[in-house]
A = this chain, B = another copy of it.
């Protein structure tokens, strides 16, 4: 392995372009060698050319068959993730995969098995683990200086509604949005979730109930290590992307507030105004997107374990399915029920 990982990007939609630009401009230990998108058009070709990418395909197979490519970056639609992981494994390529791997446990498990068999690395895109704030909470808890964790709290609210066309096919709030929080809860607790109870409602008036979904949720968690957790979500906070966590431990508490657009305070007779939270994930987590890419390239180069591996891809999906079941049946659900 050289000093730079050669990467093929699969899927050049919004998140794919974000990753592609980061790989070119901000990830020194990676080279974006090729892009493949079944809906390849002139805009995407121009975008790739501008980035200096050598090859641009509408057939992903061309990436899998290119021996000079070390790893793929799977940014296509969720239904294609597991197949692409398996193809990458077969071709001996490492795979970065956006979350979730799939919504079907058996499919996820197959993909993980393929990766393990092939001896390639898999990193799942739980990007918040690489964010400065969330990382600080995790590192503080993991250091043990506050003692054992008792309560893990995650507040996660999107700034505004996604198009209802997207919501319809999103898999529901727990698989689409809360899945990041389930991952964060596991990460902060340093322990697996054993039980879930979910409350939810469609309160925004935007029509989530008409597509069988909710826009407001609170989910309680029990962890193997005895800790309790709680997540609260809204689809539309309106004031920005509300991303806070807090862990109360035996000897104290660590919490993080939102990143703001700036640190200004404007005071007049009418009132005192401070800045809003950074709007959405593209702005809020851009440094974390870069850091996760650097970390995976580094793991490939140094042959160290992936920081967010297959197990980390599987567990939050199980929790999300348990939460959906809990909401539907209005009862607490054991993770062991989800098979």
Name A's B-contacting residues (CB within 8 A).
Answer: 25-26, 132-133, 135-137, 140, 146, 148, 150-151, 153, 157, 197, 199-201, 203-205, 216-218, 220, 222, 226-230, 232, 234, 237-240, 242, 248, 250-259, 261-269, 271-277, 330-332
A148 (CB) vs chain B CBs: closest residue: B203
How many copies of the shown chain assemble into the complex? 4
Once the chains bind, are A264 and B272 in contact (CB under 8 Å)? no
Once A220-B199, A220-B220 are accepted as A-B contacts, the answer to whether A239 and B253 lie under 8 Å apart by CB is yes
- A267 / chain B contacts, CB cutoff of 8 Å: 237, 239-240, 242, 252-255, 276-277
C-alpha spacing A226/B214, complex, angstroms: 12
- A258 / chain B contacts, CB cutoff of 8 Å: 263
A51 (CB) vs chain B CBs: closest residue: B28
Contact among B157, B204, B254, B265 for A264, CB-based, below 8 A: B254
Contact among B140, B238, B261 for A132, CB-based, below 8 A: B261
Once the chains bind, are A218 and B220 in contact (CB under 8 Å)? yes
- A253 / chain B contacts, CB cutoff of 8 Å: 237, 239, 242, 265-268
- A148 / chain B contacts, CB cutoff of 8 Å: 203
C-alpha spacing A234/B249, complex, angstroms: 10
C-alpha spacing A271/B136, complex, angstroms: 14
C-alpha spacing A94/B204, complex, angstroms: 44
Contact among B204, B230, B254 for A250, CB-based, below 8 A: B204
Once the chains bind, are B273 and A272 in contact (CB under 8 Å)? yes
- A271 / chain B contacts, CB cutoff of 8 Å: 239, 273, 276
Once the chains bind, are B252 and A269 in contact (CB under 8 Å)? yes
- A203 / chain B contacts, CB cutoff of 8 Å: 148, 150, 226-227, 250
Once the chains bind, are A254 and B266 in contact (CB under 8 Å)? yes
C-alpha spacing A269/B252, complex, angstroms: 7
24 pairs of residues in contact across A and B, judged by CB atoms under 8 Å: A25-B26, A133-B263, A135-B262, A151-B218, A157-B248, A199-B222, A201-B228, A205-B250, A218-B228, A218-B229, A230-B232, A234-B248, A238-B252, A239-B253, A239-B268, A240-B267, A242-B253, A252-B269, A254-B265, A255-B264, A257-B263, A265-B274, A272-B273, A272-B276
Once the chains bind, are B201 and A199 in contact (CB under 8 Å)? no
C-alpha spacing A230/B227, complex, angstroms: 17
